[in-house]
Amino acid sequence: MTPKPTDASPDHLVVSLEKVINLNHPLLRLAQELDWEGIRKEMEPSFCHANGQPEADVRVVFGLLYLKSAFKLSDGELIAQWVENPYWQRFCGFETMQHKSPIDSMAISQWRSRLGTEKLEIMLKKTIVVGQQKNSGPQ
């Protein structure tokens, strides 16, 4: 599933990220290796009816949480840098350049709370394992 664009730019202004970025970038290689459907299935139960419905695509939120952790950013710093970084946008599943954040910094905090520290750590560790497996393979 591809996240919905965050802005309604006219079609002639839409730029495909794959045409302007290096598809061999380490973050994009990691994104190709991740089991996004497995991540989705693991995270969605945290958003049952009693906890409230998801407000954003799971890939977007997990991608943001991963980037926040990997680059040691505050929620506000994460959002500001995400809007400027096409690699981060592609990592989160977007196919075209976005000019607005898909969620605000308060929503990131809410998602983190709903997931809980333990589940979030498990998900991030899975990402680390994928990265380690990729780096230890034949070059």
What torsion, rounded to 10 degrees, do the Cα atoms 10, 13, 16, 21 define? -150
To the nearest 10 degrees (0 to 180), the angle between helices 58-71 and 75-84 is 110
Q: What pLDDT sits at residue 110? A: 85
Mean pLDDT of 15-41: 92
Grade residue 124 by pLDDT with cuts at 50, 70 and 90: confident
Q: What pLDDT sits at residue 139? A: 42
3-state secondary structure (DSSP) of residue 16: strand
54, 44 Cβ separation under 8 angstroms: yes
Quick: pLDDT tens for 43-96.
877 766 666 665 678 899 899 999 998 999 999 999 999 999 999 999 999 999
| Percent of the residues in the chain that have a pLDDT greater than 90, as a whole number | 41
Consecutive H or E run containing 68: helix 58-71
pTM equals: 0.81
Q: What pLDDT sits at residue 31? A: 94
In this structure, what token pair is assigned to residue 126? Answer: 């899975």
- The Cα–Cα gap between 54 and 8 comes to 22
Mean pLDDT over the full length of the chain: 83
Q: What pLDDT sits at residue 135? A: 61
Structural domain spans, the chain: 23-128
Q: What pLDDT sits at residue 107? A: 86
For 24, 25, 29, 38, 116, the CA distances from 87, given in Å and listed in that order, are: 11, 8, 11, 22, 27
In this structure, what token pair is assigned to residue 102? Answer: 């898909």
Mean pLDDT of 88-115: 91
From the number of C-beta atoms within 10 Å of its C-beta (0-12, 13-18, 19+), residue 23 rates as exposed
